[in-house]
Amino acid sequence: MRILLVNPPNCGRSMPEELYGITSLKQIFRGEPLALETLAGNLIQHDVEILDLKVNPDGLHSRLTSFAPDLVGFTAMTCEANTVIKLAGEVRQNSAAKIVVGGIHASTDPEFFNCEVIDWVVIGLGKQSFPELVEAIERDQNTEIPGIARSTKAKKPLSWQPRKYNQSDLVNNAAPRYDLVENYRSHYTLQTLGLKMGLVSSALGCPYDCNFCCIYPLTGGRYLTADIETVIRDILTLEQTPVIRLVDANSFGNPSHAWKLAEAIEKAGIHKQYLADVRSDMVVRQPQLLKRWKEIGLRAVVIGFEEIDDNALSQMNKENSAATNREAIAILHQLGLTIVGDFIISPDYTEQQFDQLHDFVCEQAIDLPMHTILTPLPGTKLHHQVQSQIKIHDLDYYTLTNAVMPTRLNEKLFYQRYASLLHTGHSNAKV
Ligand code: B12
Ligand code: SF4
């Protein structure tokens, strides 16, 4: 079968820009579409191509004509969901291909894609389930595959068998098809340094359940680690990329796996730099692990500090404390690791809270603070909790840089304070 896997273009809308002319929040994101490379890796008996519309935004029509796919698969984050429906409509009009959607939005809010232009919705990890679907389509079978819902074209709600994601869903022996994006690779750079960056997955899912986070349904809350040899294989394949971003939602979540991986990287004689998302409580429990990773090339860690007081952290079900965050920062500074700190600004913030956060970031010398606005992503616990307060339902605004709930401060002032916080952070940035 000819399968075209499509990464949607950079999309999303900006309220601060549209309403108040604050343009400094706009960012262009590019990174290789690892999800699509991963899926392609387990479709070896098929003819697969990847189209990255983030690099080539107008490429869909010509690729539909030149490749004539039998099946088109889209991946989508929440802010890309409307765009994917629009693109699927264009596929429907111009080809007879079956249309499948998967990824984070399909996993948290599958019903959103239950519409005329989508044929199947893949929920959670798809590396194993997608080839099962492709086979069923090829044989024209109507089999039920756990984790996959057949669109009813909005005639009735979706129904599907839940999938118990486990190690076999990682299909470790099938390598991601990094080669399928070779033409785009020069665009996948770490903007702050202009360095080429490659993406590698060493673990999927997260056992925590923070109320704003959308990771849970990808694996049903399970934490699945890739085989050590698999991770080494993937890092080695990305020979030309000096920086590797581990894309795991929660890297080093299994410390013994992380120790073994560090040993294996050293043993393989690999000299690269790494960027990983870790939890602060893990840093405090495992400072030696971080030290070991620093020795083998860890350059920066991304930490979701989220908030600076315990009450706010507990409301998020973060299962962590402000004191632990501070302790982790001290350890990371001591180790000389760059700290990329994620903070979540509630629309409820007062001027005083903006000031406090600004002071915290400066006092704690967070190297690169990344501020997002608390956003109730559909399908999350937060969304259920605050549903009645949501004033913007258009998913184009769910970029985590828009207040989709009312702000306590005058809205323009809120965005001005938000923009200046981002500016302060980024003008201090060193990664
Ligand atoms: C790498 C990454 C990026 C990269 C590359 C993504 C790309 N497609 O081009 C870049 C830098 C471009 C990016 C950008 C953004 N990102 Co981002 N990103 C990630 C990250 C760290 C890893 C994703 C990944 O590669 N995982 C590894 C692969 C193997 O797993 P996977 O994606 O889950 O794929 C599996 C399944 O989902 C499924 N699947 C996925 N797609 C498909 C498609 C089909 C057809 C099928 C069958 C199955 C399937 O099968 C796959 C294999 O099992 C995640 C966080 C995370 N850890 O998941 C955030 C994340 C996805 N990003 C997020 C966000 C918010 C953004 C941005 C809006 C900016 C921001 N604030 O970070 C922008 C949006 C860009 C835009 N459109 O304008 C959020 C999404 C929240 C949401 N619900 O929308 C996440 C979850 C991080 C977070 N803060 O919570 N991102
Ligand atoms: S925010 Fe981080 S720790 Fe919390 S559930 Fe999501 S990935 Fe896990």
Q: Tell me if 219 CB under 6 Å of ligand 1.
A: no
Q: For the chain, how long is the longest CA-to-CA vector?
A: 62
2-167 belongs to CATH 3.40.50.280: yes
What pLDDT score does 201 carry?
98
- Whole-Å CA distances, 244 to 152, 199, 214, 271, 300: 41, 6, 24, 11, 11
Q: Tell me if 249 CB under 6 Å of ligand 2.
A: yes
Ligand 2 atom, smallest distance to 277 CA: 2
To which H or E segment does residue 291 belong?
helix 287-295
Q: Determine the distance separating the centroid of ligand 2 and the alpha carbon of 207, expressed in angstroms.
A: 8
Q: How would residue 429 be classed by pLDDT, with cut points 50, 70 and 90?
A: low
Q: State the chain's mean pLDDT as an integer.
A: 95
Residue nearest to atom 45 of ligand 1 (CA): 73
pLDDT tens sequence across 103-157: 999 999 999 999 999 999 999 999 999 999 999 999 988 889 999 999 999 999 9
Phi then psi for residue 198, to 5 deg, are: -115, 155
Rounded to an integer, the average pLDDT of 277-293 is 98
8-state DSSP, 404:
-
Rounded to an integer, the average pLDDT of 41-55 is 97
CB-CB contact of 262 with 204 (8 Å): no
CB-CB contact of 195 with 253 (8 Å): no
Q: Tell me if 73 CB under 6 Å of ligand 1.
A: yes
The dihedral region occupied by 346, where left means phi > 0, alpha psi between -120 and 50, and beta the remainder, is beta
What pLDDT score does 30 carry?
81
Q: Determine the distance separating the centroid of ligand 2 and the alpha carbon of 209, expressed in angstroms.
A: 6
**Residue (of 380, 408, 385) closest to 213 by Cα position:** 380
CATH 3.20.20.70 occupies which residues in the chain?
Answer: 188-427
Rounded to an integer, the average pLDDT of 30-38 is 95
Ligand 2 atom, smallest distance to 213 CA: 6
Written as six digits, the tokens of 55 are 């690099």
pLDDT tens sequence across 176-199: 999 999 999 999 987 766 778 999
Other CB atoms within a 10 A radius of the CB of residue 150 amount to 17
Residue nearest to atom 3 of ligand 2 (CA): 208
Q: Which residues of 268-279 are buried (b: 16+ CB within 10 A; e: fewer)?
A: eebebbbbbbbb
Q: Tell me if 251 CB under 6 Å of ligand 2.
A: no
**Residue (of 192, 172, 121, 171) closest to 151 by Cα position:** 121
- Amino acid identity, residue 42? N
Ligand 2 atom, smallest distance to 206 CA: 8
Q: How far apart are CA 289 and CA 332, in angstroms?
A: 11
Residue nearest to atom 41 of ligand 1 (CA): 103
- Amino acid identity, residue 365? A
Written as six digits, the tokens of 374 are 């608390």
What pLDDT score does 192 carry?
67
Name the residue with tokens 């952290």. Answer: 313
Q: Tell me if 332 CB under 6 Å of ligand 1.
A: no
* Residues near 86 by beta carbon (within 8 Å), at least 6 away in sequence: none
Least confident residue range of 172-181, 302-311, 419-428: 419-428
Rounded to an integer, the average pLDDT of 378-394 is 97
Write out the E strands in 215-309: 224-225, 243-246, 273-278, 298-306
Q: How far apart are CA 171 and CA 175, in angstroms?
A: 9
Rounded to an integer, the average pLDDT of 319-331 is 98
Higher pLDDT, 192 or 158: 158
Rounded to an integer, the average pLDDT of 382-386 is 98
CATH superfamily of the domain spanning 188-427: Aldolase class I (3.20.20.70)
Q: How would residue 430 be classed by pLDDT, with cut points 50, 70 and 90?
A: low
Q: Determine the distance separating the centroid of ligand 2 and the alpha carbon of 65, expressed in angstroms.
A: 41
Ligand 1 atom, smallest distance to 73 CA: 45
CATH 3.40.50.280 occupies which residues in the chain?
Answer: 2-167
What pLDDT score does 73 carry?
98
